[in-house]
């Protein structure tokens, strides 16, 4: 990621209601929830675009902040302190990890059903999703903290029940075959992804960890990730660790895709 220039798009987006209302005569069905699908007229203008047709997060062309806030849940993704990128809306997807295998094509989600498309890549065949990028390496704090962030614009803590996670073409290419910066994954070099929650005072509420990639098991389809154990959070930071060490710390492309984020109201 060479540049920190973003497309100027400010929008308040809608979500799909999937929660349950309580039946006065029936059992307690649990909390009401909304699932943010990133679909519809409010979200489509937020798909990151650039001179190459929106195919690179790192080369967007306006020197203004890229931001979004969901109106119903108030979920937003501020730019990390210091340096880094917010979660960005994408629709680009392909099954060709050889063609879309560099940081210049980092918005491409892996999708075995499409050669090169801007539809059908999201969870359950939807079009849009989020791309996250960035990490924090505890062994190299001087590199800075670029972990992407979820927060709530109104400052009210909420429980994020779950989301769906998937891989980008760029990540899969390096994991399988390596590149100039990182070798392919070997046994014992699992890549982990972590979600760490924080309350309004900045105190950690917990961390949920998933094995994102290993030598013989790469995520190539939307996979549900339960985040409910974080409890009510004002902020969540996402991090990647593990993989091969090239002498400079975490060496894998710290990219992944998220979709269908379910939040308790």
Instruction: Say how far apart CA 219 and CA 214 lie, in whole Å.
Output: 9
**Residue 86: other Cβ atoms inside 10 A:** 23
238 has pLDDT over 70: yes
Q: Which domains does the chain have, with CATH numbers?
A: 33-264 (2.60.120.1350)
- Predicted local distance difference test score (pLDDT) of residue 59: 52
Instruction: Say how far apart CA 82 and CA 127 lie, in whole Å.
Output: 32
Instruction: Say how far apart CA 97 and CA 78 lie, in whole Å.
Output: 29
Are 54 and 88 in contact by the 8 Å Cβ rule? The answer is no
Residue-wise pLDDT tens digits, 68-127: 999 999 999 998 877 788 999 999 999 999 999 998 899 999 999 999 999 999 999 999
In SS3 terms, 125-162 reads as HCCCEEEEECCCCCCCHHHCCCCCEEEECCCCCEEEEE
Residue-wise pLDDT tens digits, 72-85: 999 999 988 777 88
19 has pLDDT over 70: no
């Amino acid at each position: 990621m060479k540049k920190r220039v973003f497309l100027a798009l400010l929008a308040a987006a809608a979500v799909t209601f999937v929660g349950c209302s309580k039946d006065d005569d029936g059992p307690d069905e649990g909390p009401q929830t909304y699932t943010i699908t990133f679909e519809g007229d409010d979200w489509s203008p937020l798909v990151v675009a650039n001179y190459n047709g929106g195919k690179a997060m790192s080369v967007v062309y306006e020197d203004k902040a890229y931001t979004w806030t969901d109106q119903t849940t108030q979920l937003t993704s501020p730019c990390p302190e210091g340096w880094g990128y917010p979660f960005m809306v994408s629709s680009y997807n392909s099954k060709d990890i050889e063609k879309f295998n560099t940081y210049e094509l980092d918005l491409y989600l892996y999708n075995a059903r499409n050669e090169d498309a801007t539809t059908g890549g999201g969870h359950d065949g939807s079009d849009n999703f989020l791309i996250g990028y960035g990490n924090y390496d505890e062994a190299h704090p001087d590199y800075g903290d670029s972990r992407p962030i979820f927060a709530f614009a109104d400052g009210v803590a909420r429980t994020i029940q779950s989301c769906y996670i998937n891989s980008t073409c760029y990540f899969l290419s390096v994991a399988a075959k390596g590149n100039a910066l990182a070798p392919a994954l070997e046994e014992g070099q699992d890549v982990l992804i972590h979600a760490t929650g924080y309350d309004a005072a900045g105190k950690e509420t917990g961390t949920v960890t998933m094995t994102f990639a290993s030598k013989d098991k790469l995520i190539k389809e939307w996979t549900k990730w339960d985040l409910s154990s974080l409890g009510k959070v004002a902020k969540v930071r996402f991090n990647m660790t593990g993989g091969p060490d090239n002498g400079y710390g975490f060496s894998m492309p710290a990219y992944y895709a998220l979709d269908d984020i379910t939040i308790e109201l």
